[in-house]
């Protein structure tokens, strides 16, 4: 393949993302992890599936970063997932160190890569990766809104018994309990869901979306969601690799947009070969602005925690 994507962390999210990338024949894939044998074993296993799945993407597993050289995109999933009773924010101590360390190694070999951050707490980890990478702000993007919107879309489709393909949804803000699903901008075949469901049902779906990650954690008990997170990261990667210019909700560094400065938070962005090519500012109602402010406040709190930890 003429494109190369490195996935850091060969665990649940990373290995699933690697599988989707190669099965869609988007790129060659390098899988990196600190645990010896795991990235090599998973890369070989996926290579052996290739004849059956009918793709010619090359897979490499490694514990060092040399094979990642010249990657177009690096997806960072390294870190610990949460367990029942934990919030994403509880991971900050451990994952900040891991994300800083892997980002520094990534940019040594791929100084022009676009980074897609998946490790949690997402918005805070974007700040860590941005600082550690020295990359321009359009090249550091957080995966959260695509996942949160996909969850909202799945629940809308289930509720109305319609095709998921007919659904669109927008979720703004930080990737946590304070995320801001926007029913006004969420549609079925272009029809706002506010025309199709009672306020009560919309509220229930909004709550389930905000709690979507925790719902999966409480079912799995040993880790967190990975199929939908991997799909979401791959949709972002595809838009960048193919320069599709999809408009997707992603965590981006705001410098004045929506009235915020130096803050990573989920907003609609255009993703193309240059990473974030545009941040789209949509008009918000007063209630939506208040909800976004609450979400921004919680990311600011995490920034303070990071500072306290020396990041
Ligand atoms: N360098 C490389 N890989 C690392 C490092 C490191 N410094 N530290 C940990 N890892 C690897 C682990 O060895 C493991 O294989 O990261 C992988 C994480 O995989 P899982 O434990 O299966 O976690 P996963 O479900 O994939 O979630 C990863 O994404 O969605 C977020 O909250 C989630 O922060 C978590 C991350």
Q: pLDDT tens for residues 234-248?
A: 999 999 999 999 999
Q: Is 26 in the same domain as 82?
A: yes
Among 86, 115, 142, where does a domain finish?
A: 142
| 102 Cβ neighbours under 8 A, 6+ residues apart | 8, 9, 32, 76, 78
Concerning whether 127 is annotated as a catalytic residue, the answer is no
State the pairing for strand pair 59-62/28-32: parallel
Q: Is 137 in the same domain as 153?
A: no
Distance, in Å, from the CA atom of 4 to the CA atom of 241, rounded to the nearest integer, reads: 9
Confidence of residue 36 (pLDDT cuts 50, 70, 90): very high
Task: Answer yes or no: pTM beyond 0.85.
Answer: yes
- In angstroms, the Cα distances linking 148 to 10, 72, 89, 200 are 23, 25, 17, 20
How close is the Cα of 99 to the center of ligand 1, in Å?
10
Confidence of residue 205 (pLDDT cuts 50, 70, 90): very high
Q: Is 274 in the same domain as 303?
A: yes
CATH number at 58 reads 3.40.50.720
The pLDDT of residue 87 is 84
Distance, in Å, from the CA atom of 90 to the CA atom of 161, rounded to the nearest integer, reads: 36
Q: Is 110 in the same domain as 162?
A: no
Cβ–ligand 1 distance for 92 under 6 Å, the answer: no
The pLDDT of residue 145 is 96
Cβ–ligand 1 distance for 103 under 6 Å, the answer: no
Tokens in use for 182? 């926007």
Q: Is 222 in the same domain as 73?
A: no
Best probe residue, ligand 1, of 78, 221, 222 (max atoms within 8 Å of C-beta):
78
Over residues 257-299, the pLDDT tens digits come to 999 999 999 999 999 999 999 999 999 999 999 999 999 999 9
- Domain count for the chain: 2
The alpha carbons of the chain give a radius of gyration, in whole angstroms, of 19
Cβ–ligand 1 distance for 226 under 6 Å, the answer: yes
pLDDT mean over 103-125:
97
- What is the domain range of residue 78? 4-142
For residue 177, pLDDT over 90 is answered with: no
For residue 82, pLDDT over 90 is answered with: no
Q: Is 161 in the same domain as 68?
A: no
Over residues 213-224, the pLDDT tens digits come to 999 999 999 999
- Of the candidates 77, 80, 78, 87, the one whose C-alpha atom is nearest the C-alpha of residue 213 is 87
The pLDDT of residue 85 is 86
Distance, in Å, from the CA atom of 211 to the CA atom of 170, rounded to the nearest integer, reads: 16
Average pLDDT value for the chain: 96
Q: Is 13 in the same domain as 58?
A: yes
The pLDDT of residue 88 is 86
How far from the centroid of its chain's Cα atoms is residue 204's Cα? 24
Confidence of residue 255 (pLDDT cuts 50, 70, 90): very high
């Amino acid at each position: 393949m003429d494109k190369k994507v490195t996935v850091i962390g060969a665990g649940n999210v990373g290995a699933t993302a690697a599988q989707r990338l190669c099965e869609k024949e988007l790129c060659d894939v390098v899988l990196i992890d600190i645990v010896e044998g795991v990235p090599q074993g998973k890369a070989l296993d996926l290579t052996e599936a290739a004849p059956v799945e009918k793709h010619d993407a090359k897979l490499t597993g490694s514990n060092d970063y040399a094979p990642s050289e010249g990657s177009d995109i690096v997806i960072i999933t390294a870190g610990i997932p949460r367990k029942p009773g934990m919030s994403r924010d509880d991971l900050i101590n451990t994952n900040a160190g891991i994300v800083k360390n892997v980002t520094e190694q990534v940019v040594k070999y791929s100084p022009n890569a676009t980074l897609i951050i998946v490790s949690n707490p997402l918005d805070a980890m974007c700040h860590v990766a941005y600082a550690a990478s020295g990359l321009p702000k359009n090249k550091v993007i957080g995966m959260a809104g695509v996942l949160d919107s996909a969850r909202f879309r799945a629940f809308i489709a289930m509720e109305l018994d319609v095709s998921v393909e007919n659904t669109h949804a927008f979720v703004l803000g930080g990737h946590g309990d304070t995320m801001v699903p926007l029913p006004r901008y969420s549609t079925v075949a272009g029809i706002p869901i506010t025309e199709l469901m009672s306020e009560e049902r919309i509220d229930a779906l909004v709550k389930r979306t905000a709690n979507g990650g925790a719902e999966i954690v409480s079912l799995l008990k040993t880790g967190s969601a990975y199929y939908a997170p991997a799909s979401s990261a791959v949709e972002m990667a595809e838009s960048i690799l193919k320069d599709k210019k999809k408009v997707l909700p992603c965590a981006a560094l705001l410098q004045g947009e929506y009235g915020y400065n130096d803050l990573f938070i989920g907003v609609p962005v255009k993703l193309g070969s240059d990473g974030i090519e545009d941040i789209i500012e949509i008009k918000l109602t007063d209630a939506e602005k208040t909800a976004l402010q609450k979400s921004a406040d919680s990311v600011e709190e995490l920034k303070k925690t990071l500072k306290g930890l020396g990041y």
